[in-house]
Amino acid sequence: MPISVLQFGLGEIGTRIAKLLTEKEGIEIIGATDIDPEKVGLNLSGYLGIEEELGVKVLEDPQEVFSKEPDLVLHSTGSHVPDIYPQLEQCIKAGASVISTTEELSYPYLRNPDLSRDLDEMAEKEGVSVLGTGINPGFIMDYLPTVVSGPMQEVQSVFVQRIQDASVRRKPLQSKIGVGLDQEDFQTEIAEEGGHVGLAESVAIVGGGMGLELEEITETIEPVIAEEGKTTDFFHADPGQVIGIKQVSIGRYKGEALITLDLRMYLDAEEPRDYIKIEGSPEMELTLSGGTHGDVATPAVAVNCIPKIVEASPGLHTMITLPSPAYFEDLDNKDIILSNILS
């Protein structure tokens, strides 16, 4: 039997997730929901631009889909746990497991310990599993360095730098990093709101995954300023205006920086990359030249976690409490392929 899925949220990331789901064998989309009145009522196949007729219309109220008893919800609506908690509660009480791209949900215990406990208890009671993931947070700056530390006898410090050319990213991300704002507006609209959501959660994931004791996590956000005019498909920045951010989150113990995550997202960034360096024995260093395109990789991480979350024990999970996700084409064949390899 295929796994039945509800796509909850059809923003750009949710739309990419839904389209990727249609390319996987063993998965059936039985519903899609969004609050955008321009999307409600649309035929999902037409909206996604695919030839296969799914027989699904976009609904405003997910409760109409829950009557079909989906096994799993792919959720992509917001960044903060308090904002999406009622949606998660609705999914869980309908008996569906959840994979969400909500950034704070990647390690919800950091900012929302009480809500995290409630979600965990609720999920256990209903016999379902809940996971927050994505490319960042959820993989590149947290899960991957944790995996890279596997061959090490000792870890002294962790440094991860992610440089993204924001020119090729979606409009909401360019807006989130303040492209086109004056420096004064950046301080009130971006810096005070916390900038990129999830960097501190990534520090907590690395610390938890490696068992590094942390006493505090601090964060700084600075604007990257245009030296010349720059124009994207969505915004324009004059010289002196903002073209992105430099955001650094540090996990310390006894005043010493054990984990440093350096995120730089700005227009026309030179030498985009994802870089990991772990001091210790033996020292580990890894560079992904060109970086990992977040708008492509976030849907992939979410979808590739499906086999892990449907087999997981009930409760609230993070990427470090589950087996490693991996690419798959046919969910029905993955156990057959594994048995053939082992036989």
Q: Is the pLDDT score of 338 beyond 70?
A: no
- Phi-psi region for residue 261, left (φ > 0), alpha (ψ -120 to 50) or beta? beta
DSSP tally for the chain: helices H, then strands E: 12, 15
Q: Is the pLDDT score of 332 beyond 90?
A: no
Looking at residue 342, its pLDDT comes to 45
Q: How far apart are CA 155 and CA 281, in angstroms?
A: 7
pLDDT digits (tens, 9 = 90+) for 184-219: 999 998 988 878 999 999 999 999 999 999 999 999
Q: What is the pTM of this model?
A: 0.93
Percent of residues, the chain, with pLDDT higher than 90: 91
| Domains assigned to the chain | 3-135+297-342 (3.40.50.720), 143-291 (3.30.360)
DSSP one-letter string for 199-258: HHHHHHHHHHHHT---SEEEEEEEEEE-SS-EE-SS-EE-TTSEEEEEEEEEEEETTEEE
Average pLDDT over residues 264-272: 95
Looking at residue 194, its pLDDT comes to 77
Looking at residue 192, its pLDDT comes to 82
pLDDT digits (tens, 9 = 90+) for 295-305: 999 999 999 99
Angle at 140 between CA 200 and CA 77, to 5 degrees: 65
- Amino acid in the structure at residue 189: E
Looking at residue 87, its pLDDT comes to 98
pLDDT bucket at 183, cuts 50 / 70 / 90: very high
Average pLDDT over residues 129-154: 97
Looking at residue 114, its pLDDT comes to 98
3-state secondary structure of 17: helix
Looking at residue 172, its pLDDT comes to 87
Q: Rounded to the nearest 10 degrees, what angle do helices 294-304 and 12-21 cross at? A: 50
Average pLDDT over residues 115-123: 98
Looking at residue 337, its pLDDT comes to 45
Looking at residue 102, its pLDDT comes to 98
Mean pLDDT of the chain: 94
DSSP one-letter string for 110-128: TT-HHHHHHHHHHHHHHT-
pLDDT digits (tens, 9 = 90+) for 7-27: 999 999 999 999 999 999 999
Average pLDDT over residues 74-93: 97
Angle at 198 between CA 32 and CA 243, to 5 degrees: 95
Average pLDDT over residues 271-285: 97
Average pLDDT over residues 48-72: 95
Average pLDDT over residues 134-159: 97
Q: Are 182 and 241 in contact (CB under 8 A)?
A: yes
CB atoms within 10 A of CB 175: 15
Looking at residue 331, its pLDDT comes to 87
Looking at residue 261, its pLDDT comes to 98
